[in-house]
Structure 1
Amino acid sequence: MSAYQAFIFDFDGVLADSVEVKTRAFEALYLAHGPEVAAAVVRYHREHGGMPRREKFRRFETELLGRAADEAELDRLCAAFSRLVLDGVVEAAEIPGALAFLRRWQGRVPLFVNSATPDAELAVILERRGLDGYFQAAYGSDRPKAGNLATILAQGGFAPEKTLFFGDALSDHAAARHCGTGFLGIVRDAASPLLRLDPAPAHCRDFFEAAQRINGEMR
């Protein structure tokens, strides 16, 4: 038996090695404004993983370009971004051990996704990757991550301290702290903002290490 009542996963950078797919898309959408703006967009994206794309675009428009964040323009940017990233995210390699981990725990512990990808797009990605059947539910950026996490806890009746959220971004860690759940970072880059927290949260490079850690907790 597991010590946990539920496992919850971010998607990009946690289940799929797809963060750079989105980095390249943000860069491409702002290259026309010059290399300095594009570089600033990339830096912000890397420092604020897990923030919904619409919020990032709003900040880019107002803070980098100094213009009003018109809702129609935000709609256009989000649609263009989705077209740029969808196939790349579907085709991205898995984080090592992720599928084996899902197979190991499916049917033993309820599994959920809590991602900054819009709900409809997330559903398409999970279906095209053949992952949708592993999860009881998948929640995207139509609501804040902490709100998604609170919904999962409330609807499942899970004790926060017996729920583990796997994430790779500061927003994931913040959501876990807000809701009182456990948190395990999936950290594959020594420059990850998670490692600059004091203290740094518990973290693993991949799901082979995560599986070893969880198996150790059960002994």
Structure 2
Amino acid sequence: MNDSRRNVGRHQPHNTVHIRDGRVIVDLMLMGDYNAGKTSIIGRFVDGVFDNPHYWTGCSFYVKTLWMDNSEVKLRLWEAMGGERFRGPVLSAYRHCHCVIIVYDVTNRSSFENIEKIWLKNVEENGSCDLPVIIVGTKCDLPGRQVDYVTAKKFSDSLKLPFTETSSLTGYGVDRAIMSGVALAMEKILQTVSCVREPEYANVSRKPDSGCQIT
């Protein structure tokens, strides 16, 4: 991505390590066109399920605890709601975001084209200047593919962004996609951290570490 187009005055979430209950908090935001498969990716990664009605309740984020590099990580997966109608999340949604995963449907060409038309522009306009971005193609198990792997890989490579394909139905590539985001976030945190503190919302009552967190 062209850093010269990014607003360097944006909030830098990586400068502070948020700790809660002894765990590092990492926030990943999934964005992309409506019906691109964001919710299904979250459901498959958090609970190992596909198309569970539990994941259609208007939740703000979902949580899963995991380990990386000998650190216990509280991963919060945010789904950017609103789709094309609102042209993606606004500035406030990026406040604690450590990495963005832009999702498109390999059977829907327009969802791929909107990566550049809508979603990358939104990140550039609202995200921090060094916010990691990953591109993920979903539904690679389905027939009727409109975006081939080579085309998507060349596009991602031209922007120097990581890329992978997934199937939430079979689970293929889902863990790899999410954990790649966590790894990029943790790497950036360790490179730039200036302080360690409890987050502003630390006084909120603790909820289960898997599934939907209502805010």
* TM-score, normalising length: structure 1: 0.30
- Considering Cα pairs closer than 8 Å and 6+ residues apart, tell me whether 1 or 2 has the greater RCO: 2
As a proportion of its length, which structure holds more strand?
A: 2
Larger radius of gyration: 1
